[in-house]
Amino acid sequence: MHTLICGSLAFDTIMVFQDQFKNHILPDKIHTLSVAFYVPEMRREFGGTAGNIAYNLQLLDGNPLIMATAGEDFAPYTAWLNKNNLNTSHIKTIAGSFTAQAFITTDIDDNQITAFHPGAMVESHQNSVKDAKDVSLAVIAPDGRDGMFQHARECFEAGIPFLFDPGQGLPMFNGEELLQFIEMADYLAVNDYESQIIQDKTGLTLDELAQKVKALIVTLGGSGSQIYADGQRYDIPCVVASQVVDPTGCGDAYRAGLLYGIVRNWDWQTCGRLAATMGAIKIASRGGQNHAPTREEIETVYTQALMKETIASERAAS
């Protein structure tokens, strides 16, 4: 059986400006802004929510199935997915379109100026969940607005349980629309900031939102995560990374761990620990899909983190 990954595919072009933006922007001329930044360092990464989640789930042998739209420039990404044995049968090419692309310029203070072109992503509704076979679980991640609505509804009508991960797509929906998603979803995953936005838009507290799904997952960055399920809250500690290099795609890696555990009916502490492990492994490398641990290496990081957690708990109890 497959885990269906509905979301975006994108190229991330990342440029580094070896200075501070503030040194080149005149406050009194902001209304006639015209600046150019010399960026000798540039790299292009494969990204997008669907690509990142599927890549991490494949590392776990989780049988992901990507459903997304791409442009006519997608060939290098296709080659990458094929190289990593990822199923591309439900990636639809949109004629005359570019693949979604983010152009990110970062200065030495880690300030960022980003331009995002959605491209083929806005046509994600041209894909249908009905065309995917042998699906036991799905995730509805940030994508084209119409596509997110359609895929959530199709999953619900087909009886396919799904994780709703609104992420960067939150601004596209009002409170009533978010509640429609949540009423159909089995699981809801957000970060701390997004959880506050959803509470503000829906007028519901975290506890009230949790009552509408089987599990509400809130990630807290370096403070770990919380999973509201079974009428209680499970506090999942952060797994310490070998080094902190780039947070890009950490949330997607975390979600891959969740999906893997949910499919296998693991308890929530175990799901959360694996999710945290995947996030910690990802943050130690640049980009969303450049880490390549083996299953054995993932198990080692998971086991070591669990041992540290157990020791800490025993010391706290003594």
Q: Which domain holds residue 151?
A: 2-9+48-97+122-317
54-80 pLDDT, tens digit per residue, is 999 999 999 999 999 999 999 999 999
β-pairing, 10-16 vs 100-106, is: parallel
Residue 57 covered by a domain: yes
Cα dist. 49→88, 141, 255, 300 in Å? Answer: 15, 6, 10, 26
CA 207 to chain centre: 23
Among candidates 318, 298, 164, which has minimal Cα distance to 239? 298
Residue 115 covered by a domain: no
Residue 28 covered by a domain: no
Residue 308 covered by a domain: yes
Tokens (6 digits) for 304 = 């070591």
Residues 292-306, mean pLDDT to the nearest whole number:
93
Query: What CA–CA distance (Å, rounded) separates 94 from 122?
Result: 10
Among candidates 54, 66, 58, which has minimal Cα distance to 151? 66
Residue 256 covered by a domain: yes
Residue 37 covered by a domain: no
70-109 pLDDT, tens digit per residue, is 999 999 999 999 999 999 999 999 999 999 998 888 888 8
What CATH code is carried by the domain that includes residue 250?
3.40.1190.20
Q: With H, G, I as helix, E, B as strand and everything else as coil, classify residue 7.
A: coil
Q: What is the pTM of this model?
A: 0.92
Residue 113 covered by a domain: no
Residue 247 covered by a domain: yes
Total domains in the chain come to 1
Q: Give the contacts of 44 (CB within 8 A, at least 6 positions apart).
A: 11, 12, 13, 14
253-294 pLDDT, tens digit per residue, is 999 999 999 999 999 999 999 999 999 999 999 889 999 999
Residue 260: CA count within 13 A, CB half-sphere: 27
Q: Is the distance from CB of 131 to CB of 256 less than 8 angstroms? A: no
Q: Give the contacts of 310 (CB within 8 A, at least 6 positions apart).
A: none
pLDDT for res 99: 97
